[in-house]
A and B are shown apart, each in its own frame.
Chain A
């Protein structure tokens, strides 16, 4: 094809294209970003699949994730060891799932993992409290936090066990028209280029 890159073999690039939502160019660009984070650690030549992992601290300082209150959880959810050390595979995977082309079902699965702070496969009340505190930067009083969490569990818990299983979460998300806000853009074209997509059936809004 005439591309002169020596970072990946063609076979590797094909595999990445099939396994993610990115094109070849975007994968190469992502490798550039990955390399930028730690030029000494990350080799330019990935043809023999080197086993290089970048620590959590480097990844969460990326501009796409810096302002995100859930950045730690995001990186941890995509890492193999659960501690936030991402190999390039995990890195690409993370941005692929968070891109605007990923479907809602896939995002729902990872969203559940992100919001599950104690990784017990349930979103329990403590997880909710942590989520809420991260969202509001702890500006609500403890009583208010308690009230809101109770309300959420009351709304979304279907099987009555006091916490949200994935089935509850998925059921709730499937009715949320603007869930696709779980999107991170790695496009350099616009610094604030959000990709919220309201449900296609109706572009309507409420005033409350």
Chain B
């Protein structure tokens, strides 16, 4: 049956086979059915491989219907004898045969060889089992799997990001504990501070847990706890260790965030737009093969559909955009300018509100009764900031709808505005705090039981920010989102249904945890155990968010892909880190450490401890260190870096160009091959046609036999296989060209 089908197609091709210059797109499939194609070395070796594996098919091209034995599209290659059997794309029968062959081969090799091989196998098995065990050790693995299945990989990546930050905070806590807390506990000794503590204990209460004063203020949580104590040598003292631990933590975090940002940048942007294969990914990687529940399957189907519809809509938007008239552009820009002004006004309003709240909170005198009011006034800045951070992104989302951007840009712009809002509000808050510290330092008083030293104050504000953020998140989940969901499910009023359930918006949620991490970095110097609090907060947040996701949220309508980079988020983390570094730098340069508390009490500047340590080092090292910080070292270093950067940039550009050239060449080679095959088979078809017409005419002249000999194609074979080792399309193209010039008679 295959033969007649083969012939039928040939017959069909005969009609249009007059011209050798057929358009290449017209009959793509028949190209593969021409006799010449089957003689090409690439398809011959495919058939040879098929023959080897015990499925010898009839000669000539046919579909591999019963033949999944070897993947016919694979390039012919010999399997590396060291490849584990399970990695081979063969059927089970073939794998078992291969296994038998390998075992037989093994019996013939010497004992050294077989020992080596057995060592290799056992090492591989050990590595695999170790990798499996390590993967199983990771916490929350089952939960993440569950989330992935129900909500997709985008939502899961939020939780993975949260888990990463948990690891980071754990690392920070370990560093600080190891470098500061442990030496202190080891060298503990009574000091004068203890006496003051005794008198101050009278005013302690449970509320200190929230306000950060009282017993909490005197604990190791805050800056004021650390003094020089007994560890007092020139280079090994608590202040220096304190400084170093903060430096090490920030440096390690910086390296980590930069590495992550760079990885994402590499994949997303360096490949350029030509490699954006988003649609292909959506189709080929879109379905999660693990889905077993009909509801999840239906959800996934609709997610994929919505995703594709949004893509198509974006294409239509781009088309519309390219057709806008000048008048429309002017109107649009005017609108955008107005809305940006609105955003600016909102932001300034927010900053003024923060300033106002900070001032009121600082000036408020604690009343004896009315602890609620006291607590409220203390938390006023935190409440303001949290409210602003909650409301304004929502308003930005609404505003951006009027600005007529594409879907992707809408989200990007809202995100940029929200990031700016959160980081700037924190920066403004710090700025106002520093202002009030400066005025306080000018009228300096020694701290009493009620008034703390200014570093402690700042540390407490950071502490309050963290605590309130956590409480707000908890409150939102339990007191707002859960009742809302119950209401939406029970009540069928239109207003209620319009509000709907809460949505789990990934970008804004990630922004929350990035903000929390930034607060922990900024407050690190003033409140060294803040990473510990952040760690606890993130652990709790994981479960709170999981509850929120599973119980309170409407199903995610669009698929958020966990694929291409979220460079912007790691970049945001980087911005937060840079902001905290800047704040710390300003602190070291501008402010005198307070006289009566903290590890730097006796110094003029915080960095004096480092200077003292360096001066105490042996004389030999001093010139080296002086050289390292001088210009003579820095400038050549910068120049070298610039040269390296230029070098890598030019390599990158050259590679881009090479890639483009190779892609074009690939296309050209394919065209050439097809053109030549078509050109070659034209004379062949002429012979066949004449043969058939002669047969149908019934003439049995010896011409038939001579033509039959020609159509046998064996004559062509020597030309093809004549000492040409064909490894690539290019070579095949060249040999075809040789053939075609020979046959151009």
Contact = CB atoms under 8 A, between A and B. Distances in A.
- Interface range on chain A (Cβ under 8 Å from partner): 35 or more
A160 interface: yes
A120 B277 contact: no
A113 B352 CA distance: 63
A117 interface: no
Interface in A108-134: 109-113, 115, 119-122, 128, 131-132
Contact of B411 (A137, A139, A185, A208): A208
B253 to A, nearest CB: 17
B204 interface: no
Contacts, number: 272
Q: What are the nearest 10 A-B pairs in CB distance?
A: A89-B92, A194-B290, A160-B667, A192-B149, A67-B297, A194-B149, A166-B73, A159-B670, A205-B157, A121-B73
Interface string B545-570: 00000000000000011111111011
A15 interface: yes
B647 to A, nearest CB: 24
B292 A15 contact: no
B92 A92 contact: yes
A178 B563 contact: yes
A169 B283 CA distance: 12
Given A21-B86, A68-B287, 15 more contacts: A18-B95, A109-B89, A147-B315, A156-B280, A160-B671, A183-B289, A190-B146, A192-B146, A192-B150, A204-B157, A204-B564, A205-B153, A206-B566, A207-B566, A208-B407
A135 B304 contact: yes
B415 interface: yes
Contact of A67 (B263, B271, B294, B506): B294
A20 B71 CA distance: 18
Contacts of B65: 81-82, 119
A19 interface: yes
Contact of B284 (A63, A78, A173, A203): A173
A175 interface: yes
Contacts of B507: 207
B275 interface: yes
Interface in A128-162: 128, 131-132, 135-137, 139-140, 144, 147-148, 151-152, 155-156, 158-162
B122 to A, nearest CB: 14
A176 interface: yes
A158 B73 contact: no
Contacts of A54: none
B716 interface: no
Contacts of A167: 75
B284 A206 contact: no
B277 A182 contact: no
Nearest to A122: B73
A191 B267 contact: no
A156 B560 contact: no
B437 interface: no
Interface of B: 25, 28-29, 32, 63-69, 71-75, 84-87, 89, 91-93, 95-96, 99, 142, 145-146, 148-150, 153-154, 156-158, 160-161, 164, 260, 263-264, 267, 271, 275-281, 283-294, 296-297, 301, 304-305, 308-309, 311-312, 315, 407-408, 411, 415, 506-507, 560-567, 569-570, 663, 666-667, 669-671, 674
B280 A155 contact: yes
B665 to A, nearest CB: 10
Contacts of B569: 204
B285 A20 contact: no
Interface centre among B65, B95, B285, B570 (most CB of A within 10 A): B285
Given A19-B92, A135-B301, A172-B280, A165 B308 contact: no
Contacts of B72: 121
A156 B285 contact: no
Interface in A31-90: 63-64, 66-70, 77-82, 89-90
Given A140-B308, A194-B145, A198-B157, A181 B288 contact: yes
B280 A161 contact: no
A176 B281 contact: yes
Contacts of A181: 153, 285-290
A195 to B, nearest CB: 6
Contacts of B267: 177, 201-202
A207 B304 contact: no
A106 B562 contact: no
A138 to B, nearest CB: 10
A113 B99 CA distance: 24
Contacts of A18: 84-86, 95, 99
B283 A98 contact: no
